[in-house]
Amino acid sequence: MRHSDLYCSTLAKRHDMLRRALRTTICAAAFAIAPLAAQAQAQNSPAATSTVDTLGAIRARGYLICGISGDKPGFSFADSKGVMQGLDVDLCRSVAAAIFGDPAKARFTSLTSLTRFPALQSGEVDLIARYTTWTLTREASLGLEVAAVYFYDGQGFLVKKSIGAKSALDLNGASVCVEPGSTGEVNLVDYFRANKLELKPVVIEKLEQIRDALMSDRCDAYTNDSAQLGSFKATLGPAGDNYVVLPEIISKEPLGLFVRKGDQRFFDIVRWTHVALLTAEEFGITQSNVETFRKSANPQIQRFMGETNDLGATLGLDTQWAVNAVKAVGNFAEIWDRNIVPLGIPRGINRLVKDGGAQYAPPMR
């Protein structure tokens, strides 16, 4: 064999050996990686089992803990007997009723705008129903998520009539009270900057301190969501007649029920309890007449009442979870009428979709 032929033959054999060795190495690596890939896929799958068990913790302690404001009439405020009342409070009681069949199993922790998120993150509370706006950063970076939007609002301004302002654009150079750690603080600065107005922000955390600042002329105006302004005005008593809410709405404020990320079951319970209250309103099911719907021929109502299809089992609850929620606090319209109507705030966009609003109940099936 010529030297050149011998060289080519040897090179071919080496190439073949290298190719077989490489194939063996790739196969071995694939077998080694496969279990890890499967594990990663399982961890990222929506169906993956969460290590967080909020429902289990709630049942073990025997009650639900809700983070509220505690100082806002219409939303969360102690009545003359010291009992918490309001829209936020009723929503918490509806969740407690869905879980335990008893709205009295809801306990309340008053939180400020600065302490609300750490309290939920740490597990001090199970749920925040504290007039809190759903935003991208709150959901994407705080480990929290919104189970339901229960109030669509927007930020406005409450001013003293004596300063003569008819529009927010008349507030150039005004001192404006605003709560720290709120979306309102950012919205206020953005609005004044966009309209080339001079701003003197007065950042105050406590509501009673804001009230004192307005009454003592430290602030010309107070900015917050419009419903909160109505609630605040109600706390002033007869002195509230000296203040007016300006017509401008400068932001979108979808107020949500916040829970921790990582517990799909509790997220579902909070979301679908809210849906149940809307569904009851759609069907005319109220706190006083709910039991009369037991014999309804409507398949949707039969499911709602727990007469067919055990929807409760899919949530880890009993068949009467939706009925118990309505028995506890009424449907969404009843909750609104009891708490928000006295503030003089129209329901507006918070009506059901069928009535021209934005509240929409997905099918319970």
Which among 100, 133, 48 is positioned nearest to 269, based on CA atoms? 100
C-alpha 101: how far from chain center: 22
How confident is the model over 46-62, as a mean pLDDT? 77
Which tokens is 28 given?
């071995």
Pairing of strands 200-203, 144-153: unpaired
* Mean pLDDT of the chain, nearest integer: 87
Q: Which residue has the higher pLDDT, 164 or 37?
A: 164
Determine the Cα–Cα distance for residues 173 and 160; give it in Å rounded to an integer: 15
Reduced to 3 states (helix: H, G, I; strand: E, B; else coil), residue 303 is helix
Tokens 């300006």 belong to residue: 246
β-pair type (106-110, 64-68): parallel
* Residue 129 CA from chain centroid, whole number: 7
Residue 2 — pLDDT band, cuts 50, 70, 90? very low
> How does pLDDT run across 169-214, given as a tens digit for each residue?
999 999 999 999 888 999 999 999 999 999 999 999 888 899 999 9
CA atoms within 13 A on the CB side of 154: 12
How many of the other CB atoms lie within 10 Å of CB of 107?
Answer: 16
Q: What pTM did the predictor assign? A: 0.80
- Residue 215 CB neighbours (<10 A): 13
- Cβ–Cβ < 8 Å for 62, 107: no
Please report the beta strands in the chain, taking only residues with DSSP state E, as ranges in sequence order: 64-68, 71-72, 76-78, 84-85, 106-110, 127-133, 144-153, 155-160, 175-178, 200-203, 221-225, 243-245, 253-260
pLDDT tier, 22 (very low <50, low <70, confident <90, very high otherwise): very low
For tokens 């509790």, what's the residue? Answer: 266
CA angle 139, 140, 142 (to 5 degrees): 70
Closest residue by Cα to residue 325 from 99, 146, 127, 147: 99
Band the pLDDT of 70: cuts 50, 70, 90.
Answer: very high
CA R_g for the chain: 29
Cα separation, 249 vs 34, in Å, equals 55
